[in-house]
Amino acid sequence: IGLTSRAMQVSSQIDEPDYGTLLDSMRFTATAGDVMRGMDMGLTHFKFFPAKTSGGLPALKALAAPLLAALCFTAAAQAPQPPEIAARSYLLLDVTANQLLAARDIDTPVEPASLTKLMTAYLVFDALKARKIDLKQTLPVSERAWKMPGSRMFIDPKMKVPVEDLIKGMIVQSGNDATVALAEGVGGSVERFVELMNQQAISLGMKSTAFRNPEGLTETGHTTTARDLSMLATRLMRDFPEYLGY
């Protein structure tokens, strides 16, 4: 875009009888060509010289026009290709510009696995923001949380664990026990918390997502899509910037 814009500026300057400005602009274009050549874009080295031929300004215009056109065409033709990724479905998003950079099968249903915890974190952060719970508040550990399979932070029913520690256990260790303890602390029960997860998914526009648990263990009907997860991740960052440190 920058090269195309500069080429347009050079083209407009050609009509002015200011050879110094013209040559400066043309030297800039040559430098851009060198950079592009260095990036394996196939350009050769260009050199520009003052036109001392009888053609004068028309001769310069005749020289510059095809070179500028070649530079602009090459820049447009060399758009980067998405990388090869060993994933059934993926999405790369520029959140600031809301621009999709690369994607594959973003609406194909997939199991979210531990990315389920993004929604659990969303609801926990929402409860913190609403002052329903506090970071220093301690929560009990139920038998259900204690016996969770998979990755854990190793809490047990004899413990009362601060909310902040449980958040770290869920996010850093992907602890299923910590996740269930948080779900019970916020929702009152895992079942009620899952209802809140699905309600929040609808509110965020996640039309192809259905949650069956807060931790992400495989369960029939527990599915999402790359598109829906991108919505959730984007809103998680925008709605709770104060908790991004976790």
Tens digits of per-residue pLDDT, 77-122? 566 777 788 889 999 999 999 999 999 999 999 999 999 999 999 9
Lookup result for tokens 């990724």: 85
Catalytic residue among 174, 189, 207, 208: 174
Known catalytic membership, residue 174: yes
- Digit-coded pLDDT (tens) for 1-22: 344 444 444 444 444 445 454 4
Per the annotation, the verdict on 208 as an active-site residue is no
From the candidates 5, 114, 168, 230, give the one annotated as an active-site residue: 114
pLDDT grade for 71, boundaries at 50, 70 and 90:
low
Residue of 61, 117, 160, 168 with catalytic role: 117
The tokens 């719970």 sit on which residue?
Answer: 133
Considering the chain, what percentage of its residues have pLDDT values greater than 70? 68
